[in-house]
Structure 1
């Protein structure tokens, strides 16, 4: 703003000074031109011309505007001056005087620094110094230069107003640009800050997702490893159940098939019937145990059933198998569950009821299902003697199987046991399972 203001102000000052000086020079030249003789042939002024000039600048129209007038010859001699003591003196031509003899009008404001102008400097008034070339009418040749000083009080006021207006205009334009640029920068800064906050939030969300993915990947790996181990354990347990149960009964029946009572013709019919009845009974027991094992391995049709129906089926199956009384409480979930979630719930309740019946005597067993804020929870409890989880052998399939089955679907498993009973609880988030 300072640089542009200084440049604009200096240009305006130069133009105003030049225009004002040109107007004054034209006015002065129109008055003195008819008075002057042919300065091409005459190197001095006669007395008549000198008196006329004295009257013109002393009493005429120029007397109030021009306080000093000089007429210069090319060699630096003053042909005429309103000061009598300056007439005929010779000075070294100044640069302004040389420029005027070259045909250019020269004007300066408040720069009275010529050696021939001590009187003008002593006045202390704002002066407009003008060098105006005097031309020969028919040839246009510069034959002399008129130098005069004009009292410039009005001109100084006009120039001060022009300076003030110039600075105000430059300052206003600069301020407008500054406000416009500030607005653009401020809006850009707010946009950048908003984008930075958004990016920071996105990075944080992505970091959280990455951490969750890593945790889920680790859980999936652990679940896969445990599922493989549990599968082998289930196979071993199934083999043990078949070996210890149906296989022993079938082996017993096979041994009894070689009994002497069956092949001895002397044996009574009654003893033979008794032996055959015993063999039939053992084979029937083996068939019953095989059916029970198959019943535990094969799920009922639960894909299209509601959660309440799934729980009712597993509770009824437990009641028929054990004769224990189980209390069931259900709440209808808002959203339907996937088949994998229904299978998980069925196996969870089946294994929990079997463990409670086997280890807790089946005392006051109950199953309760709730649904709250997208989470479905199933709780199986009894009032048995409880147990110490630290004493459970590492290879046991019950608790580890329940935990792995629930956590494989992203759910949570909790165990609470004391001398007053045992409660196992599972929870699944329906929204997360639907998203997955």
Structure 2
């Protein structure tokens, strides 16, 4: 049972959320207005009942006071009435319209003493003063409609007609002092009918006003809800279009990256083939020419000028062959398919150290990181070009490669203590390197300061391998 209640609440909340704003307002507003209508209706009818009851009681009290007061001129309120006064009251209350309107009559003295009653058995008895009796002793007319719960109301409770209980202060003729309180019970059938009609009219008015308010507000909310529904539909359509465009953009982005990867691989194969062609073609011919110039027949020529010219030509050929070998070495990538990120950077740095005789400081992550083939080529070429620029512009001073990896991106940085990098070179220079990195969805930044120059490569969404 305890588990069923939350599930029921969740089901109701789900049903509530699928309703339109107008229906939600209709239900919530109806509940609030109905509660307000009930509270206001009870308050209004209560005010009407009290007002009508008090006005009726005041009118009756004035009438009774005009008839009864002359008979009570000599009472002091501290003892029961004399026999003569009781007979005079009995005769007066039994005659005319007053006798027909009154059910019972009591006269209260001080301290809750009944000094007279139309029920002789109550005369001389004392009762605890009620709030209405105390109010009458303070000089005000008090009335209660069909409320017969007091101890002295035992006789009246047996009546089968509605009664209006009225407490009226009796004042001394000359001093105006309250000497007694007259309590009488008036037949209130007409008052009951009037109160019932007044209640109906008040409830009708309150209900009509409530319905009018609800109808007016519901009409406003309906128009607003219709506008919101149209805007929501338009917005959902636009969001759907945007999602389709985003999906298409992601698809095109994947195709671009795949194409960039294929182009990078094709370029590397082309460069590898060009390196092999240079090594097997021009480099071999230059080596052969250098060997022929060093043959004994030419080296033992008797003409010193000719020997010097041959030596100079052979030096140029050796220098050209060395440059071609360097170009071949730079064009051809080593085998990097099986290397992770750290091994890739170490391989590039070691090749640079062998080629230049300088030292490269490395700061690499401990965890292995898997890269795509295009990303491997991009990182290797970036480190290669960055270290080449560091050697060219700073003589290899302060060469360092730093790799940082977080949840969103991979950052590779090459620093040196040089004064800066000049204009970007074509081919494998910075312009080509920037194009290569941007094709991977990354960025290339150049940072120059008093302490040196730094090349920063950033690639997002790199896949990290489990250790």
TM bracket, shorter-chain basis: 0.3 to 0.5
